[in-house]
Amino acid sequence: MFEDWSCQLSTIDIASADERALRRLLAGLARHRGAVDAFEARVAGLLGEASMVRGASRCTQREADRAVARGNLIEALPAAGEALAAGEISGAHLDTLARAAERTTIDSVAESQLLQIARCKPADAMNRQVSEFVRANAHDGDLAARLARQRRNRRGCLIAGEMGVLHVEWDDTTFADVRCRINDEADRLFHQDGGRDSRDNMHTPEQRRADAVAALILGASSGPARPPAVRNQMVIVAHADGSAHIAGVGPLPRHEVERLACVSDLFGLVFSADGQPLWLGDRVRLATDIDNLALVCKHDHHLIHDKGWRVVRDASGAWTLAPP
């Protein structure tokens, strides 16, 4: 069967085709690719093990993991598999739906309008809708479990080939922090090149980003020292209902927000319902009532923010820690 497809494709004369015919061919290929992707996902889902998928197809580990994730989603959400097989959505759309389901539940994805949106928009144009959906449907316990799972599954590898490749996968918080540091260093290199006033594009953004990673790892920044007061910023948006998310990354569990608050400079910023800034706070916070303060060590901080222990005052007025 697969050999017949290959033979038929080899007989198509694309060299003499006009633009309209080429566009028609691409549209047809997209539909057939959807059918192939849906079939591959079902097969991978039945195998269930990414290592088996990788061995059979000789793909990368990342591609094998994605194929199994697609198969699991199709099994739980048949409508998405049918849309993919019909060429109404692409494999990238399916990956987007899978990420939304991972951060919430498959039932909430099934009951949402995300599949309808996927039929109308490219996968990379759905970010805003997916972010809004996740924020509205993610539960703190699910987010905490996901963050813990990400940290367990963190991994990095060095691949030697025509060019050396560094591939690292982090949890959301670590990724956001690393991204900020890389962007900060890349911005410094951009200004070192002359910034927007430079007539010569000395380096592409991709080259500057690669140079930034190397400089941060090797400690080989060649530019002038940055003033100590300048620090990279990770923007965390907190809402009145207690939820919070890292801009451009995704929602965070409550305990992670509390941990970050202990090691970060906080700038309170209040917006109106239509997004207008109403109030901007200060970075420095001063204690106003010493009787309501308790000094805790690093170990106790861990118990409070990660284990659910509470700081309580006994009858004598002394502070103690109470288990959850």
CA proximity to 92, closest of 72, 68, 122, 49: 122
Is residue 172 within 8 A of residue 150, CB to CB? The reply is yes
pLDDT band (50, 70, 90) for residue 229: very low
Over residues 31-88, the pLDDT tens digits come to 888 888 999 999 999 998 889 999 998 988 888 988 998 999 999 999 999 999 998 9
Average pLDDT over all residues of the chain? 84
**Section 2-19 average pLDDT:** 81
d(CA 68, CA 47): 8
Sign, CA dihedral 158-163-169-173, equals positive
The predicted structure's pLDDT at residue 303: 85
Percentage of residues in the chain having pLDDT higher than 90: 32
The predicted structure's pLDDT at residue 140: 87
Over residues 131-158, the pLDDT tens digits come to 889 888 988 888 888 899 999 999 999 9
**Domain extent listing, the chain:** 2-137, 155-218, 287-324
d(CA 102, CA 100): 5
Is residue 250 within 8 A of residue 219, CB to CB? The reply is no
Nearest-Å Rg of the Cα atoms of the chain is: 25
Count how many residues are written for the chain: 324
Over residues 253-271, the pLDDT tens digits come to 888 888 887 777 766 777 7
Over residues 176-222, the pLDDT tens digits come to 999 989 999 999 888 888 877 776 667 888 999 999 999 999 886 55
d(CA 174, CA 170): 6
- Structure token pair of residue 272: 């109106």
HSE, side-chain direction, 13 A CA sphere, residue 305 = 18
Residue type, 14: I
